[in-house]
Amino acid sequence: MPLVTDHAVVVGNGPAPSRSLLVGLLEQGGLLLCADGGANTIAGYGLVPDAVVGDLDSVDSSLQQRWTKTEWVKVDADDTGTDLQKVLDDAHQRQVRSAVLTGVTGARTDHTLWNLSLLGRFADRLDLAIVDDDCLIRLISGLVRFEAPLGLKLSLCPLAGPVDGITTQGLRWSLNEDRLVPGERDGISNETVDSTVEIRVDGAGHLLLIVQWAGQIDLSLIPRTAPD
């Protein structure tokens, strides 16, 4: 496993991101990793990944002959996790500290829900964001501050169970050390009223920040540093 870096773009086997989104993600640098059939998406754009990880049952078989410089990591199929989980385990072993996941939402609702859960599962090892052509999804831990256009739509959603001690600034409907609970109280469809937004989580729990692009993708919101 010679490829080592602190950042990666991971492409899953879900609906493909647009070429412009994928190119924008790759311009940030780092490894290009594919979760099994995500390799087919990359091939369709004429790109070559650094590594493909999974049981390799969904990959176009001709790619292994064509991509001679790509590292192929075959992980036997089992019932302990998906190919995306396996590629994230692989990324952690490569000393990756932050990663952007794309091609992991839509089409299969069950897969989308599982992929969201991986943000929490890997929170202590990898700083992750899920990005597609409609939105960005990331976990918030501690304080997050970012610049945003006025009227940007965003939501704050507990991932699994209540999240306590949430405080916001720069949003139309502010929170002050409040508690959000799935199915009871959430932070759906808020919007920015200031160019600087702050969201702080002082309590326990995993809080998702979901930003709707509204036609203009802002990759500056994607994390590039990992938790301590």
Residue where a domain terminates, one of 115, 133, 151? 133
* Contacts of residue 163, Cβ cutoff 8 Å, sequence gap at least 6: 179, 180, 181, 201, 203, 204, 205, 206, 207
Statement: residue 214 has pLDDT above 90? no
What separation, in Å, do the N-terminal and C-terminal C-alpha atoms of the chain show? 24
Q: Which of 13-17, 77-81, 100-104 has the lowest mean pLDDT?
A: 77-81
Burial 160-188 (b: 16+ CB within 10 A, else e): eeebbbbebebbeeebeebebeeeeebbe
Rounded Cα distance, 178 and 207, in Å: 12
Neighbour tally for 227: CB within 10 Å: 15
Cα 95 from chain centroid (whole Å)? 17
Predicted structure pTM score: 0.90
Q: Report the domain count for the chain.
A: 2
Rounded Cα distance, 94 and 92, in Å: 5
| Residue ranges making up the domain that contains 113 | 7-133
* Contacts of residue 78, Cβ cutoff 8 Å, sequence gap at least 6: none
Pairing of strands 153-158, 187-191: antiparallel
Calculate the average pLDDT of the chain.
Answer: 88
Q: Are residues 57 and 75 in the same domain?
A: yes
Q: Are residues 51 and 151 in the same domain?
A: no
Q: Where are the alpha helices (DSSP H) in the chain?
A: 19-26, 38-44, 62-66, 83-93, 109-121
Q: Are residues 106 and 145 in the same domain?
A: no
Nearest by Cα to 121 from 31, 206, 204, 225:
206
Residue where a domain terminates, one of 99, 133, 167? 133
Q: Which two tokens stand for residue 8?
A: 């990666």
**pLDDT digits 0-9 by tens, 25-81:** 998 889 999 999 999 999 999 999 999 999 888 899 899 999 999 999 988 766 667
Q: Are residues 51 and 120 in the same domain?
A: yes
**pLDDT digits 0-9 by tens, 110-144:** 888 889 999 999 999 999 999 999 999 999 888 98
Domain annotation covers residue 226? no
